[in-house]
Structures are given as C-alpha cells and as structure tokens.
Amino acid sequence: MALARPSRLAGTAPGGLPVPSAISTSARTRCAAPQPAIPAKLSELPVLSATSISRPTPPAAGSKALAAIIAAPLLLHASVARAHEFRPAVLVLEQAADGRVQGRLELPPEPDLQALRVELPPHCRPSPAPPGRLRANCGPDGLRGELGVTGLARGELIVHLRRPEAGLQTMVLRPGQTTAPLDPSPGPPPGYLALGVEHILGGADHLLFVAGLTLLVRPALRLAGALTAFTAAHSLTLALAALGLLALPQAPVEACIAVSLVLLARALALGEKPSTGAAWRLAGACGLLHGLGFAGALAEIGLPQGAAVPALLAFNAGVELGQLLVAAVVLALAALARAGLARLPTRARAPLRALPALALGAVAVAWTIERVLAFWSPA
C-alpha cells in the first residue's frame, strides 16, 4: 500500500497569523513579533494547513542599498539595547488521543527564514484547513518517526510537541539539520548544549566581561579562581530564574550588566591588580547579574517538562564551554599584543595599553545609557 503524501507546513508571519500570497509586503510588516507560547489545551491551538506561502518579490538593487544604509544604525541601536534578544522560529504541534495533529509555525521577520518548511512523517494524512495552518491525521501511531526540515539556513527552530502519553517535548534544531526524531528519548533534550555555546558567543556583553576579566586578573591561577566564581554565581541565578524561583524585570537586569562592564573598564584603566579575594568578589557579584541575563534568553525557549534539569545543565555547560574558549582566545591575543608592544618605543606603549580599557568603557557607557533610557521606551 503506498504511503500517504507527507504533510508540508509553510512558514507563517510572526505571531502565527496566515499570510496568503496575495497579501502585499507592506501588510506583512504589520504582523506582530512571534511569541513562542505553549497552548495549554488542544482547543486553544490554531490549526495549520499545508498551503505554501509565497515569498515577497525581492526589492531592486537600489532599494537594497538604501535600505542597508538606513538599517545600519538601526541594527546597531537594536544590538545595544537588546544584547540578549533571542528570536528563534517556533513550531508548535499538538496531538490528540485519536491521532489528530494540529499546530503552527511562527517565524521571526528575518528574510532568510521565510523559506523554512517542515514535513510530518509519511503516515500522517493532511486534512483541509485554512491557509497557513495544518491539520493532519497520524492514526494510531501518532507523531512517530522523523520530522523533516528544509530551509533552516541560520538561527534555531524550537519544536514544542505535546502528546497525551508523553506530555510536552521540546527540541532545538540548528542549521544543517534536516530531520528530528519525534519519538521520546531519555536524557537531555538535544540542542541545549549548542544553544548555550551560541548564547555566550553571540552575547556581546558576556563576551566583553569575560575578555575584560581575563585581561584584568593575573596570574593564571588567580584568573582561574575568578572565572570559577563567575561560573558558580551565574549558574546559581540561571537555575533559580529558569526554574521559576526568581523573577526580575529584564530591562533593569540588562542595565546592571552594562554597569558591571563600566566597573570592569574602570579597573582596567586604573591598572588595578585585584587580590584573590577582590577578584572573586568582583566576578561573583557580576556573575549573579549575568546569570539573570542568560535566563532571559533561555525563557524564550522554555524548559521541557520532565527534563528541565538536564536541559538546564546542558545549556549551562554550553555557556561554560564558550566562556573557556573566549578566555583562551583573549590570553593568546594578549600574548601577541605584548610581544608587539615590546618592539615599540617606550613612550608609545602606554597609550596602546590603554586602548582595551577605553574601548570597553566607551561601549559599556553607551549600553548603560541606552538600556536605562529603554525603561521609558515602549517595548
């Protein structure tokens, strides 16, 4: 017996609203940003169809150039104000007891994610549904086998799968992945380790703090202790916030993280050589703030029911791997810089040695002002 045609799910506009191909590009831009919320009941979940959504006509070359010129300062503004913003594509699938499946795909506005498509297993038979939604009947087997994915060029696809017998299952798919197993598996949910590495490497404020701490604290044994204190502190607040035991508004947290960079830049500029205790206190206090910043990004994804602790440990381990990588790179670059400065005249060395502190201070002050002003700005 021939297998039924797989169900295809085309991307919808942010917020899960259908966007038929006849709607103009200007109408699409009015859609709200995606909110990766998990419906509590099957009846609350909008349904998906296999209807493909056509992509907007690319603008002319001149329009692209003008848009790039206008967008450059706006992108810089956004990166300064929201260093922890995390906007993945989100796929929500919910299976009923009789094998019927409903769901939606929410896409961020980035154009290179508009071609994202997902495909249910071959035994799932599609049913009629409004454009931009999907209904399928997977029979007694339910959602088993593999989920097919195409067009995931960058970023992440967060898959929330709810089944009566298995509860909520969360997976993180990364660029290059074309399939994802739908069968429940023990152990940490896949993708959280890599997600932690990406967050530390993609978060400019975290990168700058680890880099500045690496330049400030000497010798290597004292630096290792400071990094350990930073790790222990942000692991504590990350766990408390991710498990719902600690909740603080994200905007003040982001502003305080920027202030921690100002303090670090000041110490570098003054040439301070903190003792072991002072280095631990500085790194520990700032680590508590940075852990809340990590938790803000993790909250965008959510922790899977029944595997929250393994997912949290995997995410935190990824953060630590990225942090150690940053420290190693900074130490190597600092050694090269010292070797280069040794060849320069003595009077030229002092201004060049002050450059890292001045650059860090300028960025930190700009972030602090921007984030404090964001308290009174609309979200």
Same structural domain for residues 266 and 340?
A: yes
Same structural domain for residues 352 and 257?
A: yes
Tokens of 304: 């899977």
Structural domain includes residue 190: no
pLDDT score, position 257? 93
pLDDT greater than 50 at residue 42: no
Q: Which residue has the higher pLDDT, 166 or 86?
A: 166
The total domain count for the chain is 2
Residue finishing a domain among 163, 185, 207: 185
Same structural domain for residues 42 and 169?
A: yes
Average pLDDT of the chain is 74
pLDDT score, position 317? 85
Same structural domain for residues 180 and 225?
A: no
Structural domain includes residue 21: no
Write the DSSP assignment of 258-308 as a string of letters: HHHHHHHHHHHHTT----HHHHHHHHHHHHHHHHHHHHHHHHHH---TT-H
Mean pLDDT check: name the lowest of 31-45, 197-211, 352-366.
Answer: 31-45
pLDDT greater than 80 at residue 82: no
**Rounded mean pLDDT of 350-373?**
92
Structural domain includes residue 22: no
Residue 340 neighbours by CB distance under 10 Å: 11
Question: SS3 sequence, 62-94?
Answer: HHHHHHHHHHHHHHHHHHHHCCCCCCCEEEEEE
Same structural domain for residues 351 and 296?
A: yes
pLDDT greater than 70 at residue 52: no
Same structural domain for residues 109 and 242?
A: no
pLDDT score, position 204? 87
- Quick one: pLDDT band at residue 186, thresholds 50, 70, 90? low
Tokens of 6: 């797989």
Structural domain includes residue 281: yes
pLDDT score, position 282? 92
Could you tell me which of 186, 170, 188, 196 has the C-alpha nearest to residue 301?
170
pLDDT greater than 80 at residue 23: no
**Rounded mean pLDDT of 110-115?**
65
Mean pLDDT check: name the lowest of 37-46, 190-199, 203-212, 276-285.
Answer: 37-46
Q: Which residue has the higher pLDDT, 368 or 242?
A: 368
Same structural domain for residues 177 and 291?
A: no
Structural domain includes residue 164: yes
**Domain with 66 in it:** 8-15+34-51+60-185
Q: Bridge partners of 100? A: 137
Most confident of 39-53, 160-174, 330-344: 330-344
pLDDT score, position 285? 92
What is the β-pairing status of strands 117-119 and 125-127? unpaired
Same structural domain for residues 337 and 222?
A: yes
Mean pLDDT check: name the lowest of 23-27, 176-180, 248-252.
Answer: 23-27
Structural domain includes residue 26: no
Task: Please state whether the predicted TM-score (pTM) of the whole model is above 0.85.
Answer: no
238-285 pLDDT tens trace: 888 878 888 888 889 999 999 999 999 999 999 899 999 999 999 999
Same structural domain for residues 201 and 168?
A: no
Same structural domain for residues 351 and 209?
A: yes
Same structural domain for residues 149 and 296?
A: no
Q: Which residue has the higher pLDDT, 131 or 41?
A: 131
Structural domain includes residue 1: no
pLDDT greater than 80 at residue 181: yes
Same structural domain for residues 150 and 272?
A: no
Are the C-beta atoms of 116 and 150 separated by less than 8 Å? Answer: yes
